[in-house]
Amino acid sequence: MLLYVKNMVCDRCIMIVRQQLENFGFKVKEISLGKIAIEPEANEGQLQDIAAALGTLGFELMDKEKDQLVEQIKTQVIDLIHYSELNELQQSLSQEIADKLNKDYAYLSRQFSDAEGLTIEKYIIQQKIEKVKELLEYGELNLNEIAYKMGYSSSAHLSTQFKAITGLTPSKYKTATLNDRKSLDKVG
């Protein structure tokens, strides 16, 4: 049985969700961000119990096909932005997402925009800016290195986009005493 879970954004989320499902007596056959294969098949009462337990931890069990697709898109974006080397991708992010989900990008884009009220491209930009904030706070890379790592054509392009989203230049953000990073599931 496949379950789709909203707000799974990191390896810790996978560990917590796995533990919860195993506590209910299910065998987790496969688990990735937002998608879990379990055995045996859960009945309606068990699904309600799982949903309640996950809900207390900030997760949400999804049952609508469109919600599941939107969550899969978000998961792919987060995975690509936060856990991949963007400068090494052989194709655009939109094509990567379409290929990974085995669906036409125009279809994915329509479904995402209808459900979220923003385009996949804007969501990608927001996720990239959150990753840039993280890299700026770590202080290990200069702006040119961050721009390259994040797949920007130049540090000027990164700076322009960063200021448009945050209202601050990257250097002002880096020196600000209170930074406003968002958790990955709150971006968008």
Q: How many helices (H) and strands (E) does the chain have?
A: 9, 4
If asked whether residues 55 and 77 sit together in one domain, one would say no
Give the span between the Cα atoms of 59 and 135, in whole angstroms.
Answer: 26
> Which one of 17, 34, 63 terminates a domain?
63
The per-residue pLDDT for 87 is 80
- Joined together, the tokens standing for residue 128 give 């990239």
> Which one of 63, 83, 104 terminates a domain?
63
Predicted TM-score (pTM) of this structure: 0.71
Q: What is the mean pLDDT of each run of 10 residues along the chain (188 residues)?
A: 89 94 95 92 91 92 84 92 84 92 94 92 94 91 93 94 94 78 64
The per-residue pLDDT for 182 is 67
If asked whether residues 125 and 54 sit together in one domain, one would say no
If asked whether residues 31 and 80 sit together in one domain, one would say no
**Domain that residue 173 falls in:** 64-188
Give the span between the Cα atoms of 72 and 64, in whole angstroms.
Answer: 12
Q: What is the DSSP letter of 184?
A: G
If asked whether residues 25 and 78 sit together in one domain, one would say no
If asked whether residues 43 and 122 sit together in one domain, one would say no
If asked whether residues 68 and 32 sit together in one domain, one would say no
How crowded is the C-beta side of 143, counted as CA atoms within 13 Å?
15
> Which one of 63, 81, 109 terminates a domain?
63
If asked whether residues 59 and 82 sit together in one domain, one would say no
If asked whether residues 131 and 47 sit together in one domain, one would say no
The per-residue pLDDT for 183 is 66
Residue 35 sits in a domain whose CATH number is 3.30.70
If asked whether residues 103 and 146 sit together in one domain, one would say yes
Q: Are 24 and 46 in contact, with CB atoms under 8 Å apart? A: yes
The per-residue pLDDT for 177 is 63
If asked whether residues 22 and 84 sit together in one domain, one would say no
Number of domains in the chain: 2
If asked whether residues 39 and 51 sit together in one domain, one would say yes
